[in-house]
Structure 1
Amino acid sequence: MTDALLAVIQEGVRAYDLGRPMSIGMPQSPNHPAYWHTLPRRHGDMVRSDGGSAANDMITTGTHVGTHIDALAHVSHDGKLHGGVEVADAMRGGGFPDHGVHTIAPMVRRALLLDVPAALGTDACEPAYEITPADLQQAEALTGTTVQPGDVVLVRSGWGRRFDDGAKAYLGQVEGVPGVGEAGAQWLADHRVHAAGADTIAFERLAPGGGHSVLPAHRVLLVESGIYIVEALALEEIAADQVREFTLVLVPMNLVGATGSPVRPLAVISDRSPDA
């Protein structure tokens, strides 16, 4: 008997890659170690007797660089992590055995794209624009369905278009960056989502010249609600195709005790014609 999920896959699916390519010099938060790639062995450095040769790589990177997920260990408030656990008690052996990214189960979940600029009738949100609960509700209406407990909600601001323009354009350190505010984060928490993501460097609104000085949405989601955050998503293609409900496949690296992990999320939809 063919598994129902396998049957759908055999009939045809389309996968949208929501992850950013990782490359030297890509935009990233200055708070994290940069991505670096090198070839310690090149073709020809060693040649086997049969003429074969191999190259290999070495990479270094922070865990919050490129498209990545924040584990519950990433942010504390008043010295406590999610569940009211004291940071001093949570960090053991140089990591977080109970709050680390290795505790995030692989995600194969229903997801919704809340396309805020589409809801507002614009191409992209303005710098430092705060995405409010009303904005999220308007974007939710465009999906033709509602956010349910356990869903993953991805919020598009349109800021992701700036990623390929470099760090100055994408980080918005002078003009600020649009994103969900504290009230919007509470709206997501009230809907009991499993994870929330966005196309910006920090998910939430960054004030002009403020950088990462205050992160109330991180507090609401990670610390108070136990909701994971995914940042620096590539959402333009899926938004252009008006795909707003889909299956999200997201698997963090199994980094024991780490506060986050690079990810390459996929938005998967049926490739069948509606009339098929």
Structure 2
Amino acid sequence: MTDALLGTVQKGVDAVDLGRQLRVGMPQSPNHPQFWHTLPRRHGDMVRADGGSAANDMITMGCHVGTHIDALAHVSHEGLMFGGVDAAQAGVGGKYDALGVHTIAPMIRRGVLLDVAGQHGVACLEGGYEITVEELEAAAAAAGVEVGQGDVVLIRSGWGSKFAEGAAYVGGPTGVPGVGETGARWLAERGIHAAGADTIAFERLAPGGGHALLPAHRVLLVESGIYIIEALDLEELGARGWGEFTLVLVPMNIYGATGSPVRPLAVRAR
């Protein structure tokens, strides 16, 4: 019997890469170790007797740099992580066994794009702008989709267009657009599996406020067990007008880590 999914793939699929290219100097949260890539061995540093040569690489980086997913171990509130896990006790030994990124199963799920910037008819929402529940609902209606159980919901603010500008994307003095606590609760009430955005911290950052307050992280990660995906590239997805698609995302299987770099794909049959 022919597998239906395999049959679709053999007929051809279109894929949109939602991940950011990892480059030295790219914008990132100042709270995490920067990405660094170097060549310990270059061609010609060692040449074999037959004339062959090989180069190799080394990278160092925080797990919350570039396009990445937050594991449930990433955030605690009043000493507790999701499910009432004691955050201090869970960190003994330097690994988060219960809620680390190794516990996130590979995602092959329905993805939904809520293009809020597109609904406003602008390339990018203003820094510090809080996306309301009404705007999320309007974006879903415009795309002809309903957010449902187990979905991965991606919110486009257009802020991702600033990624190449560096500091502007981090948005320290300007703030960054995104949902607040109310928007996060709307997502959680629909039983979604994960939520993502084209911004550095998923949720709204107040001008000059940095990462001082992150209520949406608390609602999603701590209270609801919903993963967060940050620094997505949603520009092509928005331009194509894909309201729903298959989302493929596989975290690195790093035991006990609080997050992982990812390279998600939005996939549709041709």
Query: CA–CA distance in 1 between the matches of 2:105 and 2:143?
Result: 26
How far apart are the structure 2 equivalents of 1:174 and 1:58?
34
Q: Alpha-carbon deviation of 1:124?
A: 1.7
Does residue 1:189 correspond to 2:177, yes or no?
Answer: no
| Paired AA for residue 160 in structure 2 | G
The equivalent residue for 2:242 is 243
For residue 28 of structure 1, report the CA deviation from its aligned partner: 0.1
Alpha-carbon distance in structure 1 between the residues aligned to 2:131 and 2:231: 16
The equivalent of 1:207 in structure 2 is 206
Distance of 1:88 and 1:176 partners within structure 2: 31
RMSD: 0.7
- What SS does structure 2 have at the residue aligned with 1:32? coil
* Number of the residue aligned with 1:141: 141
1:88 deviates by 2.1
Q: Mark the runs of 5 or more structure 1 residues left unpaired by the alignment.
A: 272-276
User: Distance between the aligned counterparts of 2:185 and 2:27, measured in 1?
Assistant: 28
CA distance in 1, matches of 2:191, 2:142: 20
DSSP-derived class of the 1:73 partner? helix
Partner Cα separation in structure 2 for residue 89 and residue 143 of structure 1: 44
CA drift at 1:172: 0.9
Q: Is the 8 A contact 2:145 2:243 kept in 1?
A: no
Q: Which amino acid in the other structure matches residue 255 of structure 2?
A: V
In structure 2, C-alpha distance between the alignment counterparts of 1:38 and 1:117, rounded to whole Å: 37
Matched residue, 2:131: 131
Output the CA distance in 2 between the equivalents of 1:75 and 1:135: 27
Tell me, yes or no, if the aligned pair for 1:120 and 1:135 is still in contact at 8 Å: no
Letter in 2 for 1:106: P
Aligned to 1:48: 48
The residue type equivalent to 2:112 in the other structure is L
Aligned to 1:84: 84
Segments ≥4 residues shifted beyond 6 Å = none
Q: Which residue pairs with 2:264 in the alignment?
A: 265
Match of 2:63 in 1: 63
Aligned residues: 270
* Structure 1 residue 68 displacement after superposition: 0.2
Give 1:146's aligned amino acid: E
Q: Distance in 2 between matches of 1:58 and 1:127?
A: 36
Matched AA of 1:132 = T
Sequence identity (%) = 69
What displacement does 1:69 show? 0.2
**Equivalent residue for 2:110?**
110
> Please, which moves more after superposition, 87-96 or 72-81?
87-96
Structure 2 residue matching 1:261: 3-state secondary structure: strand
Q: String of CA shifts for 1:197-228, please: whole Å, max 9, x gaps.
A: 00000000000100000000000000000000
Q: Output the CA distance in 1 between the equivalents of 2:245 and 2:92.
A: 38
Higher deviation after alignment, 115-124 or 3-12: 115-124
Q: TM-score, normalised by structure 1?
A: 0.97
- The 5 A counterparts of 1:175-186 are 175-186=174-185
Task: Give per-residue Cα distances to partners, 1:114-157, cap 9 Å, x unaligned.
Answer: 00012223222111000111110011112212011000000000
Partner of 1:222 in structure 2? 221
Per mean C-alpha deviation after superposition, the further-off stretch among 91-100 and 22-31 is: 91-100
Amino acid across the alignment from 1:123: A
Q: Which runs of 5+ in 2 are unaligned?
A: none
Tell me which amino acid in the other structure corresponds to 1:96. Y
- Aligned residues of 1:27 and 1:171 also touching (Cα < 8 A): yes
- Partner SS for 1:196: strand
Provide the C-alpha distance between the structure 1 equivalents of 2:37 and 2:53, rounded to a whole number of angstroms: 20
Match of 1:20, SS state, is coil
